Amino acid sequence: MSISMYSASVPVCQSMLSNLRHMLDKAQAFVAAKGCDPVALTQYRLAPDMLPFTRQVLIACDAAKNGVARISGLEAPKFDDTESTLAELQDRIDRTLAFLATVPASAMDGTEERAITFPVGRDATRTMPAEAYLKHWMLPNLFFHVTTAYAILRHNGVELGKADYLAGAKR
C-alpha cells in the first residue's frame, strides 16, 4: 500500500510547524526568565552568510504553505514578511497552520505526476513532478529551516532537546 501525497505532506508540515511553534514558546519563556533582549535571538545567525533566526522561521512557514499550495493547486495566503518579534513569528506559524488545516486530501492525492515549477534563488525556476518535489525539495527545505531555527535557539541557551524538535509540546 502506498501513502498518499496528502498524508506525506500536510500532516508532516503541521507536525514540524507545531514543533517549531513549541520551540518559540520555549524561547519566549527563556527571554522572560533571563531578562535578555529578544532581538539577540531573532537576529542571530549561525554564520555570517546565513539568514537570521527570523528568516529561518519565515522560510519554514513558506516552504510548507507554498509547497502544499503548489501541489494541491490551491492559492497560498500571501504574508508580508514583516514579522520581527517572537510573538509575531508565533502568529506567522499559527496562520500557516490555519491554512494547512483548510487543504483537503482530495486536492493533493493523485497529483504525483503534476509538474511543479517553483523559484530557485532570485532569478531561476525549476520544474519537477509533484512527488519528487515533495520528497526531494519541499520537505528537505522545511526540515533545513526548522533545524536551523532549532540550532540557533539551542546555541543561544534556550533549553531544547531532540524531543522538542521531534515531538514539540506532545512529548
Integer Cα distance of 18 and 97 in angstroms: 8
Integer Cα distance of 164 and 20 in angstroms: 8
Could you give the domains of the chain? 5-166 (1.20.120.450)
Q: Are 24 and 90 in contact (CB under 8 A)?
A: yes
Q: Is 119 helix (H, G, I), strand (E, B) or coil?
A: strand
Note the pLDDT of residue 169. Answer: 77
What's the distance, CA 96 to chain centroid?
A: 9
**Radius of gyration (C-alpha) of the chain in whole angstroms:** 16
pLDDT tens for residues 125-137?
999 999 999 999 9
Nearest to 7 by CA among 134, 163, 98: 134
Q: How many CB atoms lie within 10 A of CB 169?
A: 12
**Block residue for cell numbers 502568529:** 91
Note the pLDDT of residue 3. Answer: 86
Ranges under pLDDT 50 in the chain? none
* Predicted TM-score of the model (pTM): 0.96
Q: Are 99 and 63 in contact (CB under 8 A)?
A: no
**Block residue for cell numbers 497529483:** 111
Note the pLDDT of residue 129. Answer: 98
